[in-house]
A and B are shown apart, each in its own frame.
Chain A
Amino acid sequence: ELKVEQNPLFLSMQEGKNYTIYCNYSTTSDRLYWYRQDPGKSLESLFVLLSNGAVKQEGRLMASLDTKARLSTLHITAAVHDLSATYFCAVDVSIKAAGNKLTFGGGTRVLVKP
């Protein structure tokens, strides 16, 4: 059974500093997704990583994927308050084109303090 583990589970950040969230998974996959969820809200797709060495950047967020290590990282540069949210990684091991079966990590709750 696929296991997806994120750490840390909670991250208290200071504005202006850099931080990294880690996502480890237990089986071979080259499809990994990052989502953001604000309290009481839906999940917003941040990044789709589809190959070993893939790197995607959007604003202060950068995600990377190392399929050999079964590890993805979400790096936050110069944290700002607006980045406070829960971040989820999700791994897909579907073999059928229809029915992506995402297994989510437990989430990392990020709180950025001034």
Chain B
Amino acid sequence: DTAVSQTPKYLVTQMGNDKSIKCEQNLGHDTMYWYKQDSKKFLKIMFSYNNKELIINETVPNRFSPKSPDKAHLNLHINSLELGDSAVYFCASSYGQLNSPLHFGNGTRLTVT
């Protein structure tokens, strides 16, 4: 009955590989997000989608490509992984309202070696 679920929880891979992280929410929210938390715990938004439409696209390398097949799912595909991509990636969701708090998933710890 997890509200926002991400898979996998841990991802260890080598430089140059391509990997995907999946996210699903069952809260009935219409907006989903990807945030990146670096080693210093700093959180920064990467993307947001509202009803499958890309709303926010921050300055993120083109190697990162989000995809939202429906409003309950938002996946993140990363091409040609680099060492600097190592971080914890959080998926989140909310209602598309200005005062709606975000509900976060448990995070995916990506380690690039």
B86 at the interface (CB under 8 A from A): no
Task: Name the one of A43, A48, A98, A103 contacting B55, with C-beta atoms under 8 angstroms.
Answer: A98
Distance A104 CA – B41 CA, assembled complex (angstroms): 10
B28 within 8 A of A: no
Given contacts A99-B31, A102-B102, A106-B41, 9 further A-B contacts (CB under 8 A): A37-B41, A42-B104, A42-B106, A48-B101, A96-B55, A97-B96, A99-B96, A100-B98, A103-B45
Q: How far is the CA of A68 from the CA of B107 in the complex (A)?
A: 35
CB of A92 within 8 A of chain B? yes
* Chain B residues within CB distance 8 Å of chain A: 30-31, 40-45, 48, 50-51, 55-56, 90, 92, 94, 96-107
Do residues A100 and B90 form an inter-chain contact, with CB atoms below 8 A?
Answer: no
**B-binding residues in A (CB < 8 A):** 31, 33, 35, 37, 41-45, 48, 50, 86, 88, 90, 92, 94, 96-104, 106-107, 109
Interfacial chain A residues near B40, Cβ < 8 Å:
106
- Verify A101–B56 contact, CB threshold 8 A: yes
Q: Are A42 and B107 in contact (CB under 8 A)?
A: yes
Structural contact, A50 and B99, CB atoms closer than 8 A: yes
Does the CB pair B104–A43 fall under 8 Å? yes
Q: Show 12 A/B contacts (Cβ-Cβ < 8 Å), sorted by A.
A: A42-B105, A43-B102, A45-B102, A92-B98, A97-B96, A97-B98, A98-B48, A99-B96, A101-B48, A106-B40, A107-B42, A109-B41
